[in-house]
A and B are shown apart, each in its own frame.
Chain A
Amino acid sequence: MTMQLDVERIKKDFPILDVGVRGHRLVYLDSAASSQKPQAVLDAMTRYYETTHANVHRGVYAIAEEATRLFEEARAKVAAFIGAPSPRGVVFTKNVTEGINLVAQSWGRANLRPGDAVLLTEIEHHANLVPWLMLKEWLGIELRYIPLGEEGQLDLSDLDRLVDGVKLVGLTAMSNVLGTLPPVRRIADAAHAAGAVVLVDAAQYVPHLVTDVAELGADFVGLTAHKMLGPTGIGVLWGRESLLDEMPPFLGGGEMIRDVRLDGFTPNELPWKFEAGTPPIAEAVGLGAAVDYLSGLGMESVRAHEIELTAYALRTLTERFGDDIVIHGPAEPGMRGGVVSFSFKDLHPHDVSQVLDEWGVCVRAGHHCAKPLMRRLGVGATARASFYVYNDEADVDALADALDKTSDLFA
């Protein structure tokens, strides 16, 4: 049964929400860019540094073994959180960007030849565009795109033709601009039927919805800790082990090898084969604590809360501002994540965001690292409010009140 989130109690877990801005309380509506961190995550990382820190997979002394245990325990927690069959397929990366570059460089260079096709979508973040554009330059691969259709949804009417003959399909599970939740499973099934592998950018999905890599039908899934209450500097690429086993290493160095001679090397086994150098250990511990925190809330409850809050936001903004506000993306709250990109009057998003800041309201303004999508929407930039477990209706009201002030200033 889905329990309702006790947001008042949750807010108390986040020290930064006590920090005032210009005499106003902090109204943080930019979690799609990066989430805030609960005390439990901060404590886990501090405790690790204060009591346990040593390099992992090296020392045989007690704290080194404890550090290794904590590091690998975090991996197991992430595996369980995303329904991965085993931690072997859970590769620690810096972020989703690095995870996708790993796939493009390692899997891509081993499996793609000039003229081979990769299918992406028009709503991708630059992180899932540029690594493939780079391969296009280096290898001469062909890139195809599933177009944006009505109401922020992908237009799948031509999917069969688009997917025909492609080697890889890469798509976001939730748009960071529109909040769109593409039908990943349906697209993955079509991709697999065409013999392609499927890469899912789940940066915005994993923090907000129950994730099961098998249900998504993905072969690779990228996630990042800092958008799910964890620290910056660590992410995960989950990959199907049979694929990861066949792939050449990505970055070379310590940790990723079994043996090194002056004339060659033997790579380590999974997942360490893809983890060159000393990993972000405290960050892994923090990610593990973030997973524990989210699991404690229950991801069904997190999702239910965000649907409710998004519905309230769409209703409030539309009621209060009518034609003065254009909200991009799906109109139905159950069909989208808690990301609300909007254009307000004819004001530039930077001006909107600047005035909102005066009232302690933090929203993102800009192109959200999705310039092709911005062009497709016919806007240079948008303002974007995004919600998480510590946001409530009062935060939405604060946004609306601050938009009124913005309106007054430029009137």
Chain B
Amino acid sequence: MPGLEDLYREIILDHYRNPRNRGELPSPPAYRVEGFNPLCGDEIVVYLDVSEDGRVVDLRISGQGCSISQSSASMMSSAVKGKTVDEARSLIRAFKAMMSIHEQRLDADGQPEDAVIEEPGVKLGDLEALQGVVKFPVRIKCATLSWNTLQQGLDEADQAAPSPA
């Protein structure tokens, strides 16, 4: 049976206590996207500043939620800031691949078997601390909330961007 230490790693608690990139950006020009988790009432707002050459130059997080959704959002903001939109999308795919490991793929000790990251070359770094969340299936939605919201923001940015000549 997984224990609390699998879920509440120190780095997660650190991001929860001291969230990075907390706040708002004037919108427009920033994209403002809201995400909700209707089950627990968590809500997150992602502000996204994308430069003309397709780089996430600034990003802010507001809203409220549990330690997992808040720390995941904070870690995401640190990881994505300064990346190109394409790199951010790779990161989203890698993170969601990590989160899609389901219970039945845990071995007897609750350790994930063959945790395949389907994005070769993408380094999750600190974000790997969130891997323990997959042992608590109900909480996976908390961890992915900000990432889904970011994805929506990137989609909006792509749609608004002038098509390449």
Contact = CB atoms under 8 A, between A and B. Distances in A.
Interface of A: 22, 347-351, 354-355, 358, 365-367, 371, 374, 379-381, 409-410
Contacts of A350: 40, 66, 68, 139, 142
B117 interface: no
Contacts of B41: 366-367, 371, 374, 379-381
Nearest to B66: A348
Given A348-B67, A351-B66, A380 B40 contact: yes
Nearest to B13: A410
B4 interface: yes
Contacts of A365: 40
Q: Is the interface of B mostly helix, strand, loop or mixed?
A: mixed
Given A354-B139, A410-B13, A380 B67 contact: no
A358 B41 CA distance: 23
Measured as residues with beta carbon below 8 angstroms from the partner, the interface class of chain B is 20 to 34
Nearest to A406: B4
Contacts, number: 50
17 contacts: A22-B1, A22-B3, A347-B67, A348-B66, A349-B66, A350-B40, A350-B68, A351-B67, A354-B7, A358-B4, A366-B41, A380-B41, A381-B41, A409-B4, A409-B8, A410-B13, A410-B67
Interface in B131-154: 136, 139, 142
B42 interface: yes
B43 interface: yes
B35 interface: no
Interface string B33-52: 00000011111000000000
In order of increasing CB-CB distance, the 5 nearest A-B pairs are A380-B41, A348-B66, A381-B41, A350-B66, A358-B4
Nearest to A350: B66
A366 B66 CA distance: 11
Given A350-B66, A366-B41, 8 more contacts: A22-B1, A347-B67, A348-B65, A354-B7, A380-B40, A409-B4, A409-B8, A410-B13
Contacts of A351: 66-68
Nearest to A359: B4
B64 interface: yes
Nearest to A355: B4
A362 B75 CA distance: 30
